[in-house]
Amino acid sequence: MADPMRIRANMLGDKVEVRVLMAHEMETGQRKDASGAIVPAHFIQNVTVTHAGKTVLSAQWGTSISKNPFMHFRFKGGKPGEKVTITWVDNKGERRTDEAVIGGGS
Amino acid sequence: MKRLASLTLLALAACASGPSDDEMRDDEMRQRAEQVFRESFTRGNPVIRARVEQQDDVQALCTRYRNDPPKDVAAKIESEQAASIRYPAPGHFLGDWRRGEKIAQDGYGMRFTDPDTKRPNGGGCYNCHRIAPAEISYGTVGPSLYRFGALRGTGEAVQRYVFGKIYNSQATTACSNMPRFGHNGVLTEEQIKDLVALLLDPASPVNQ
Amino acid sequence: MSFPRLLPAVLVGVLAASVPCVCQAQDDTQKEVERYRQLLAEGNPADLFEAKGEELWKTPRGPRKASLEQCDLGLGAGVVKGAFARLPRYSADTDRVQDLESRIVTCMVTLQGFKQEDITKNPFSAPGRPSDLEALASYVAGESKGMKLAAPLDHPKEMEAFRIGERLFYRRAGPHDFACVSCHGENGKRIRLQELPKLTDPNDARKIFTSWPAYRVSQGTVRTMQHRLYDCYWQMRHPQMDYTSEASIALQVFMAKYAKGGEIRAPGLKR
Amino acid sequence: MNRREALKVGGGAGALALATIAGLIRPGEALAQQQWNKAAFETKSVAATLKALGGSGSTESAQIQITAPDIAENGAVVPITIESAIPSTEAIAILIEKNPNTLSADFDIPPGTDPFITTRVKMAETSNIYAVVKAGGKYYHAA
């Protein structure tokens, strides 16, 4: 199973600032291994961030997002103590969902 | 520290009664370190291992004096290393600067991940030197060589000097940080001539 | 100083729009590289390894189905906090000077029953083959973040290791005549765009020695101090250095002497 | 079918979001039904990507700011921030002109979320970076 994400969610004024790191190889499908064989593409295709049942960000990614992806964004309407939930799904159908509690001012 | 080391040597030279206690301990420590070195690279490629276990005289002296040998030792190293240089025939120092640029960029060769193929070794010159202006990713361990020919001239005497410097850097500076590319068989005569051209050919981007 | 075996299918990208002019090339390049690093510092993927390492540390594993929670890293069984700030050091139970990785291996063998040969055969990760040791080292090092390096280095074996490390630091060998000091003996130098620390200068040593393990963006993984030394010897045209070999630890004792007092910033983030 | 088209006609993801709010399905399940714009991610030029995203008539805008270092020490990890000052920004896409596949990422920005995103991309070689913004149903771009 995929390793957990690291999510930091903190209030910045009236907004929630979210920074997330995901553990994923993000294989392009163009790299060759030591024996010269192509390593099949393996990458996150969809990311969804929800807060209080509402999607606050959704993304589609291609193979050119860096390994161990990082994302930073801000949304309105969250309060300290509430949860932010992030889910990714990759091209092999593997998925991972993690959540973080919104902290006070950062 | 460096000054102390050379004084110790002079004192030793003047003393006929054999090595001092300090010198004995130093020698013991040297042997102990050599043993640790041998026991710490046991799994590597045996060819590469053999190349590093045994130091040549120059390597041993530069290690001992931490690259700052006393004058007499330096002079001896320089004259012996100068004698080892195999120069090309007069008038044939300049190769092709375009090939030289490739060699200067290339760090390939003699590392444990470099497969033993016919691919020639690189010089890796940009690791330490600024050379052609288009390459902004250059090192500063060695001096900038940008405009080398424009500043120093491009005549045969300079060509011969540059060839010798790349072939065996320690012929001019004992214990220089720069590899002895020709002497140690890292680069061929042809490759060194291409590098001479990179620095000295008036058409080379180095001299624009 | 890239590591071609591990580099992804992409190379250094320089944005065409603004290649700096020749006159200020060096200054501008340095400034942009600094900016690049600051942008990356916003999220260090080493965090992922710390989290994984903590989980591994606390999970019963190995033939004995034991966790590493009772591991003695030098401050007593079970003390992780601050342990990295006191390494490398002499351990009476093994009668050896040990670094972080060597001590983790000792605990994996004695507590969990792993075979030393098995865990040290492929200690560094490769694409598709993660390394427990990289994660474990990240976790333990991270538990000393903000503390000052205070390895005692006064035991006779530690003092002997220092003298051996010192000799090895200056030892020139191989077809390129390289020694550690070839790259790490002067201030303000760099290889390509990578600045080189002068390891015998406390100002440099304090910053560098305490920032490994580190996430290396060029390799997409955390690399440890053992890997840093192995990689240096690769560049020096030496053979593969044995994992946790005596030379690797002697060199760390040598460096640690100059790095004492430096604030632990591991796991760091590097090119 | 192109997911953008689905959004335009007001079905697809919009309906799923409602279902999530109602607690009918968990976010993970909603994701499984989410689409990935294969056609757009396989394009090999800026023009083709714009076309695949439905933004062929896109106009250049000074209200889109792209922040990236001029020099990336390593092309495997290039930090990029896109910020749009165009009112009603709904989506932000990142395009790398010289990459084997031009489109790198496409972010949907719902109301309440800042039109601002930072991520990290791989660059195969020195290249221009384009940002494409969809706002109020129209497309804008910047390089």
- Domains of chain C, by residue range, sit at 44-270
Sorted by where each begins, the domain ranges of chain A are 6-27+37-101
Contact assignment for C51 to A39 by CB distance below 8 Å: no
Distance from CA of D9 to the nearest CA of C (A): 38
Q: Based on the domain organization, do B52 and B122 belong to the same domain?
A: no
Name chain B's partners: 3 or more CB pairs within 8 A: C
Instruction: Catalytic residue, from C23, C180, C183, C232: name it.
Output: C232
Distance from CA of C44 to the nearest CA of A (A): 8
Q: What is the pLDDT of residue C120?
A: 93
Joined together, the tokens standing for residue C101 give 């990785």
Pair type for strands D138-142 and D59-60: parallel
The tens digit of pLDDT for each residue in D101-140 reads 999 999 999 999 999 999 999 998 889 999 999 999 999 9
> What DSSP letter does each residue of chain D carry, written as one string?
--HHHHHHTT-HHHHHHHHHHTTSS-HHHHHHT----HHHHT--SHHHHHHHHT-TT-EE-TTEEEE--SB-S-TT-EEEEEEE-STTEEEEEEEETTSSSSEEEEEE--TTB-SEEEEEE--SSS--EEEEEEETTEEEEE-
The pLDDT confidence band at residue B14, using thresholds 50, 70 and 90, is: very low
Closest CA to C178 of B177, B206, A81: B177
Residues of A in contact with C131 (CB under 8 A): none
**Superfamily of structural domain A6-27+37-101:** Immunoglobulins (2.60.40.10)
Name the CA dihedral angle for A24, A26, A29, A35, rounded to a multiple of 10 degrees: -50
Query: Which residue on chain D is closest to A92 by alpha carbon?
Result: D32
Amino acid (1-letter code) at residue C131:
S
Distance between CA atoms of C250 and C257, rounded to whole angstroms? 11
Beta bridge partners of A44: A90
Distance between CA atoms of C82 and C145, rounded to whole angstroms? 8
The residue among B48, B79, B110 that closes a domain is B79
Is residue C17 over pLDDT 80? no
Measured from the Cβ of residue B135, the count of other Cβ atoms closer than 10 Å reads 18
Q: Based on the domain organization, do B104 and B75 belong to the same domain?
A: no
Is residue B5 over pLDDT 50? no
Would residue B89 count as lying in a domain? no
Distance between CA atoms of C193 and C33, rounded to whole angstroms? 8
C6 to chain A, any CB pair closer than 8 A? The answer is no
Q: What is the pLDDT of residue C110?
A: 98
Contacts of B95 (CB under 8 A, 6+ apart): B190, B191, B192, B193, B194, B195, B196, B197
Q: What is the pLDDT of residue B44?
A: 82
Q: What is the pLDDT of residue C30?
A: 77
Beta bridge partners of C196: C189
Closest CA to B180 of B164, B191, B194: B164
Based on its alpha-carbon atoms, the radius of gyration of chain D, rounded to whole angstroms, reads 16
Tell which D residues from 100 to 129 touch C, by Cβ distance under 8 Å.
118, 120, 122-129
Q: Which of B32-46, C23-37, C201-215 has the lowest mean pLDDT?
A: C23-37
Residue-wise burial string across A74-97, b where 16 or more C-beta atoms lie within 10 A, e elsewhere? bbeebeeeeebbbbbbbbeeebbb
Contact assignment for A64 to D30 by CB distance below 8 Å: no
The pLDDT confidence band at residue C26, using thresholds 50, 70 and 90, is: low
C171 to chain B, any CB pair closer than 8 A? The answer is yes
* Average pLDDT over every residue of B71-85: 98
Q: Based on the domain organization, do B49 and B145 belong to the same domain?
A: no
The pLDDT confidence band at residue B19, using thresholds 50, 70 and 90, is: low
Contacts of B24 (CB under 8 A, 6+ apart): none
The answer to whether the CB of C119 falls within 8 A of the CB of C101 is: no
The tens digit of pLDDT for each residue in A1-22 reads 689 999 999 999 999 999 999 9
| Cα dihedral B45, B46, B51, B53 sign | positive
The tens digit of pLDDT for each residue in C158-204 reads 999 999 999 999 999 999 999 999 999 999 999 998 899 999 999 99
* DSSP designation for C24: G
Distance between CA atoms of B67 and B57, rounded to whole angstroms? 13
Let me know if C21 is a catalytic residue: no
Q: How far is CA C91 from CA B125, C209, D19, in A?
A: 44, 21, 61
Q: Based on the domain organization, do B40 and B140 belong to the same domain?
A: no
Q: Which of A87-91, B204-208, C184-188, D53-57 has the lowest mean pLDDT?
A: D53-57
The pLDDT confidence band at residue D9, using thresholds 50, 70 and 90, is: very low
Q: What is the pLDDT of residue D73?
A: 81
* DSSP designation for D33: T
The answer to whether the CB of D115 falls within 8 A of the CB of D142 is: no
The tens digit of pLDDT for each residue in C194-232 reads 899 999 999 999 999 999 999 999 899 999 999 999 999
Name the CA dihedral angle for B162, B168, B172, B174, rounded to a multiple of 10 degrees: 150
Q: What is the pLDDT of residue C25?
A: 55
Sheet of strand C268-270: strand arrangement: C221-223, C214-216, C268-270
Q: What is the pLDDT of residue D125?
A: 87
Contact assignment for D123 to C17 by CB distance below 8 Å: no
Beta bridge partners of A11: A16, A105
The pLDDT confidence band at residue C55, using thresholds 50, 70 and 90, is: very high
Is residue D4 over pLDDT 70? no
DSSP-based three-state secondary structure for C140: helix
The tens digit of pLDDT for each residue in D17-52 reads 333 333 334 444 444 456 899 999 999 999 999 999
Pair type for strands C89-91 and C96-98: antiparallel
DSSP-based three-state secondary structure for B204: coil
Distance between CA atoms of A53 and A73, rounded to whole angstroms? 18
Beta bridge partners of A42: A27
Class of residue B70 by CB neighbours under 10 A (exposed 0-12, middle 13-18, buried 19+): middle
Q: Based on the domain organization, do B114 and B54 belong to the same domain?
A: no
Q: Based on the domain organization, do B128 and B189 belong to the same domain?
A: yes
Give the position of tokens 């932000």.
D92
Tell me the backbone φ, ψ of residue A101, rounded to 5 degrees. -90, 135
Joined together, the tokens standing for residue B71 give 């004058």
Q: Based on the domain organization, do B127 and B185 belong to the same domain?
A: yes
Measured from the Cβ of residue B106, the count of other Cβ atoms closer than 10 Å reads 17
Contact assignment for B62 to C177 by CB distance below 8 Å: yes
Contact assignment for C15 to D75 by CB distance below 8 Å: no
Q: What is the pLDDT of residue B22?
A: 75
Helix %, strand %, coil % for chain B, to 5?
50, 0, 50
Would residue B148 count as lying in a domain? yes
Distance between CA atoms of A26 and C8, rounded to whole angstroms? 10
Tell me the backbone φ, ψ of residue B156, rounded to 5 degrees. -65, -35
The residue among B79, B109, B126 that closes a domain is B79
Q: What is the pLDDT of residue D15?
A: 31
Contact assignment for A70 to C8 by CB distance below 8 Å: no
Q: Based on the domain organization, do B70 and B112 belong to the same domain?
A: no
Contact assignment for C36 to D75 by CB distance below 8 Å: no
Joined together, the tokens standing for residue C183 give 């790259």
The answer to whether the CB of B67 falls within 8 A of the CB of B175 is: yes
Q: What is the pLDDT of residue D1?
A: 29
Distance between CA atoms of C250 and B36, rounded to whole angstroms? 9
Distance from CA of D143 to the nearest CA of C (A): 10
Distance between CA atoms of D92 and D117, rounded to whole angstroms? 8
The tens digit of pLDDT for each residue in A29-56 reads 998 888 889 999 999 999 999 999 999 9
* DSSP designation for D80: E
The answer to whether the CB of B102 falls within 8 A of the CB of B95 is: no
Name chain C's partners: 3 or more CB pairs within 8 A: A, B, D
Q: Give the HSE-up count for residue B198: Cα atoms under 13 Å, Cβ half-sphere.
A: 26
Q: Based on the domain organization, do B25 and B64 belong to the same domain?
A: yes
The tens digit of pLDDT for each residue in C38-47 reads 899 899 999 9
* Average pLDDT over every residue of A89-101: 96
Chain-centroid distance of CA C11 in Å reads 24
Total count of domains within chain B: 2
The answer to whether chain B touches chain A by having 3 or more C-beta pairs less than 8 angstroms apart is no
The residue among B79, B110, B143 that closes a domain is B79
Domain extent for B174:
97-207
Q: What is the pLDDT of residue D34?
A: 66
The tens digit of pLDDT for each residue in C61-117 reads 999 999 999 999 999 999 999 999 999 999 999 999 999 999 999 999 999 999 999
Element (H, E) at A48: strand A44-51
* Average pLDDT over every residue of B147-176: 97
* Average pLDDT over every residue of B105-132: 94
The answer to whether the CB of C140 falls within 8 A of the CB of C108 is: no
Q: Peptide bond before C213: cis, by omega within 30 degrees of 0?
A: yes
* Average pLDDT over every residue of B114-142: 93
Is residue D14 over pLDDT 80? no
ipTM, two decimals: 0.83
Q: Based on the domain organization, do B200 and B152 belong to the same domain?
A: yes
Would residue B122 count as lying in a domain? yes
Is residue C34 over pLDDT 60? yes
The pLDDT confidence band at residue B185, using thresholds 50, 70 and 90, is: very high
Chain-centroid distance of CA C44 in Å reads 16
Mean pLDDT of chain B: 90
What is the CATH class of C44-270? Answer: mainly alpha
Residues of B in contact with C186 (CB under 8 A): 141
The answer to whether the CB of A15 falls within 8 A of the CB of A75 is: yes
Joined together, the tokens standing for residue C10 give 């992409």
Q: Based on the domain organization, do B112 and B62 belong to the same domain?
A: no
The answer to whether the CB of B126 falls within 8 A of the CB of B145 is: no
Is residue D89 over pLDDT 90? yes
Q: What is the pLDDT of residue A1?
A: 64
